[in-house]
Structure 1
């Protein structure tokens, strides 16, 4: 039996789910951020909108929740290329309300994608820009979401000597390694859809704590496909595997990669392309793993959600197709 979950505002273009608080954030083309709260489990009612905030005059392109241990906050990528961070707070004994706590501006480039990552004691934000640069921000005070400091800035290239001045990127995709403990390395995967082939291929960046710098430790692209634009990346949770699994979507389809856990003498991780999944008619826009890292959901310009799983022999196949009812 189908159950009505929530009624989104007209013009809604992006949403984000908060697993911890069971809340939904939604952004519209006219700059309204809406927060929907989960109903009481004992009731049969649907999600209700608890807040509606005008965060921008134009469109909100993407919304991302801050990790729950740092409070109730949402980052919004706006169509003017800026990034704003909104936090739900109670001031002077008043009821909870949402307020702007940080605005990231960049006069020369637009924000294309952002993701929060790090650990329970260190929150970081990675932002990819239309000029091919990546900026890593670190939160200085865990209790104050307006204390961000730029930690690093670089382009998505293996050869650190190469710098590209005139770059046009239409999209980018970032995915942090799902953290398990404080001892794990800080790592993320990043790919671009740009006019510079060297920037496009997905690369795993790892933080070198000894020298306090980010290093590219793996490139997830076959030699004949290194310049292909990347549409989406997704790093799977790892619950006991001897390798990581990362999905990369390009015009060829969704490539599944095994990435080693331990670097070689040169500091690089071993990579193996184990599958190429095809089925979507058009670009893949977004991919998400389940909490076990066993099932991948993908969707794109064809308006269809596809679920992918690996069998006991390691062969990936399409498990289910979810199509809109109208």
Structure 2
């Protein structure tokens, strides 16, 4: 069986992606730091299937094919010293496929998606003066559908969790008590379609991608972009959903797809941080390449936000796996089935180009 390892690491203004694939044996992953010289930062177990850095980049969580969650720490994070495993816990009988850290203000906690479609939230706690250990806070399992992606967003009042399911529905959960990660309430449930007339039966979905607007002021409502890779054209296209507090509902305020591309399956979406721009920037990856979309901030009379496709990027030969912006929202890192990592930037004229191409080498 072939296993793949994906990792992402923020170092200065760039993001490093490492992904090992097409190996005849489960890989042992080596995370390396490129700061003037190359050296090993962490070695992950054979059978590692997914990984995720926390918001500060000081902790690494890794999932395994045997359903275990391992957490690695650095004794001196600021020095980029070697990471060692601090804990290991069995979270599922099936393989882990994705790990997402909760926002740091809610403690050290992660959400785990497993191959059986289940979603669970684990928190590192210390009980009765005992050593720190990871405890299960919440488990979500549906008999009719599987969780494909999950992301967290902080609103003015609470922490929200968006989970995308294989039936084409997204479910928004709200944390009732910030001190109790087990108390989640279902706030909304709807399909990724513009209007109710497009509501679908049960589509065949391969994947989904969710990305929250990372920088919302206290006066703005939370919003996120969602897309699917499925056999349903109405479901696939990337749509921006914004919460309407006055009516306590989520509204589709923009669709990021050209008329001829609306039915294309979407592999990944990523919302860029906004530092001073008069518009938002969202990256959308399909089999035709990566689209860079500009989203206006002022809605029209119908409540829709103006959108403009600013660039089309090509380079990955095949499917785009992941995309992530740097902290300034100026550099986009992408990785795909061609085994390459590409960094994209725009010049002063707004023209996008490939800034660098990296080829990770397994140790």
CA contact (8 A) 1:249 1:284 kept: yes
Q: Which residue of 1 aligns with 2:258?
A: 222
**CA displacement at 1:69 relative to structure 2:** 0.1
Change (3 A) 1:38 1:184: farther
* Number of the residue aligned with 2:130: 94
Q: How far, CA to CA, are the matches of 1:195 and 1:255 in structure 2?
A: 21
Aligned to 1:305: 341
CA distance in 1, matches of 2:270, 2:334: 10
CA distance in 2, matches of 1:300, 1:244: 24
Aligned to 1:189: 225
User: Per the alignment, do residues 11 and 313 of structure 1 end up closer, same or farther by CA in structure 2, a change over 3 Å counting?
Assistant: same
1:26 alignment counterpart = 62
- Residue 14 (structure 1) aligned with residue 50 (structure 2): yes
How far 1:20 sits from its partner (Å)? Answer: 2.5
Whole-Å separation in 1 of the counterparts to 2:144 and 2:125? 32
Pairing 1:138-149 to 2, within 5 Å after superposition = 138-149=174-185
**Mapped partners of 1:187, 1:42: distance in 2:** 33
Asked whether the equivalents of residues 74 and 81 of structure 2 are also in contact (C-alpha less than 8 Å), the reply is no
Cross-structure match for 1:78: 114
> Per-residue deviation at 1:119?
3.0
> Cα offset for 1:180?
4.0
CA contact (8 A) 1:119 1:179 kept: no
Which of 286, 289, 292 is the matching residue for 2:322? 286
Taking the aligned partners of 1:300 and 1:120, their CA distance within structure 2 comes to 36
In structure 2, relative to structure 1, the CA distance for the partners of 1:285 and 1:105 (3 Å cut) is same
Partners of 1:119 and 1:173 in 2: how far apart? 20
* Stretch of structure 1 that moved more, 70-79 or 156-165: 156-165
Q: SS at the partner of 2:43?
A: coil
Asked if residue 131 in structure 1 is aligned to residue 181 in structure 2, the reply is: no
Paired with 2:341 and 2:225, the residues of 1 have a C-alpha distance of: 23
1:267 aligned partner: 303
Equivalent residue, structure 2, for 1:319: 355
Could you say what secondary structure the match of 2:172 adopts? strand
Deviations 1:217-273 (CA, angstroms, capped at 9, x unpaired)? 000000000000000000000011000000000000000000001111000000000
Rounded to whole Å, the distance in 1 between the matches of 2:270 and 2:358 is 20
**Structure 1 residues 196-211: aligned runs within 5 Å:** 196-211=232-247
Structure 1 residues 115 and 43: alpha-carbon distance in aligned structure 2, compared to 1, 3 A threshold: closer
The answer on whether the counterparts of 2:198 and 2:234 sit within 8 Å (CA) in structure 1 is no
Shift of 1:49: 0.6
- Secondary structure of 1:199's counterpart equals helix
CA distance in 2, matches of 1:117, 1:217: 18
Distance 2:177 2:236 in 1: 34
CA–CA distance in 1 between the matches of 2:327 and 2:277?
A: 14
1:252 is matched with: 288
2:206 is the alignment partner of 1:170 = yes
Q: Is the contact between residue 118 and residue 179 of structure 1 (CA under 8 Å) also seen in structure 2?
A: no
Deviates more, 1:300-309 or 1:168-177: 300-309
Q: Give the whole-Å Cα distance in 1 for the aligned partners of 2:351 and 2:79.
A: 42
152-161 vs 248-257, greater mean Cα deviation:
152-161
State whether residues 69 and 120 of structure 1, in contact with CA within 8 Å, keep that contact through their aligned partners in structure 2.
no
* Structure 1 gaps, min length 5: none
Q: Which has the higher contact order (CA 8 A, sep 6+)?
A: 2
**Counterpart Cα distance in 2 of 1:238 and 1:44:** 28
User: How many residues are aligned here?
Assistant: 326
Q: Which runs of 5+ in 2 are unaligned?
A: 1-36
RMSD (Å), alpha carbons: 1.2
> Offset at 1:93?
1.2
Offset at residue 92 of structure 1 (A):
0.9
Give SS of 1:280's match.
coil
Asked if the contact 2:294–2:310 (Cα under 8 Å) also holds between the matched residues in 1, the reply is yes
> What is the CA deviation profile of residues 44-98 of structure 1, one whole-angstrom value per residue up to 9, with x for unaligned ones?
7410110111111110000000000001001000111110110000001111100
1:56 is aligned to 2:92: yes
